[in-house]
Chain A
Amino acid sequence: MKTLLDTWLVYSRAMKLNLKQPVWLVVMLIQPLYFLIFFAPLLNGLDGAPGFEAGAMETFVPGLIIMMALFGSTFVGFSLIAELRAGVIERMRVTPVSRAALLIGRTFATVTTTLFQALLLVVLAAPIGGLTIYWPGVFLMLGIIVLTSFMLGALSYGVAIVLKSEDTLAPVLNTFVQPIMLLSGIMLPMALAPAWLQNVADFNPFYYAVEAARSLFEGDMGANAIWQAAVYIGGLAIVLVWWATRKFARAVA
């Protein structure tokens, strides 16, 4: 009960901070919009080609949304470092607040903004990219976005609290996130990959997230990638939340 209330308190504070800087909600949308406007048209000629059987936009936009969730959640740790430096985390750790709430409340706030951005991107992609929206699939895909964002938010906060410096956080996170993005077939479907690359991608949970998002956009609600993504990313999320909570409990600011 106490943990729930504390989580809510930490969440509301983080959301209030997000809402006071609404520019962030929009900034994260700019990169995917660039891709949508300046890159997506290159794919239009591939409609129906191998890997794009469901349509070029219907293949590209789901990947783009996962990419946005990936980048939007991976770099939230930066805001934590500013708060660490200002003593905010230390101040809260001396209160009887639940240690798990300190992390989970913040991570939920990350999930909320990511969901909002994802939804906005779907709606914008329809007129800009000529995407056909299959709403039941979109809603299930938002579930995958929640798991992805939750997992990466927790990871980013945990790494931030370990490194405590923006200067090291950026390269460390980039080293993680770039191969993860490339190996998930976000830009072009992995169906185009040579066998060895496909084999490597099989170990990347985000590959399943992207595949699941594509199936859901097509309206294929029974694709294996959907439960695979949920299990792999959900499992990782549990492990990373547990790990990051421990880091929060022991952090020396």
Chain B
Amino acid sequence: MSFDINTIIYMLEIIVGGLLVGIGVHFVPVGGAPAAMAQATGIGTGTVQLAAGSGLTGLLSAGLMMSVTDNLWPILATGAVGAMIMMDSTMLTGSWIYAYAVGVPFASAKVNYDPITTFSQPPYVAPGTVGQGIPTVCYVSGTIGAAMGGIGGAMIYYPLVQINHNPAMSAIFAIGIFMVDAVLASWNIQGTIEGFHDPKFKKWPKAFKSCLVATIILAIVAVLITPLGGI
């Protein structure tokens, strides 16, 4: 293969996409298993699982858009919107269960006042828990994280298709790179986070560095290996 300026641009796009995924995971409010029992604030599942669910829905939207246009911006935007729709539908229906079935007021245990609505939080936190439900700040943070994940997934997918013109293989490779960055970020936040207002969010530079190293290696492999199979 020819290693020209375009190849370097493709690699840079993959790296930026990977970094967006890594940072985006920090925005997604996940409480892990305790949140499924209304013992912790956020969505009751794992970080990687939710980030992958939303980011890859965005990848499906981006793949559809890329089949009709080569313009980068609509592809990135539709990837972000697809991911945001998935994340918001999930959080909204989860909120229905918290509000109308389990019966808990939404409260964050990490801040005294919600930075967006300015509602007080500690009086609503039940003893023996670290908050419950999905307050507005977590919801907005999750939407931002989904947008970043969607843009990141689309940004990894776009150059791969440009290189090998094979959507199926590019999608599988994009899923792989997405998973690597999401898992690295998940280790950084130790599995749970409430969103950008959580003190753990300040640890993002560590994830940034590790995702950068991992994605550089993956980007080199991606641009070298894909033309061999891209028939």
Do A and B pair up? The answer is no
B-to-A contact residues, CB < 8 Å:
none
A-to-B contact residues, CB < 8 Å:
none
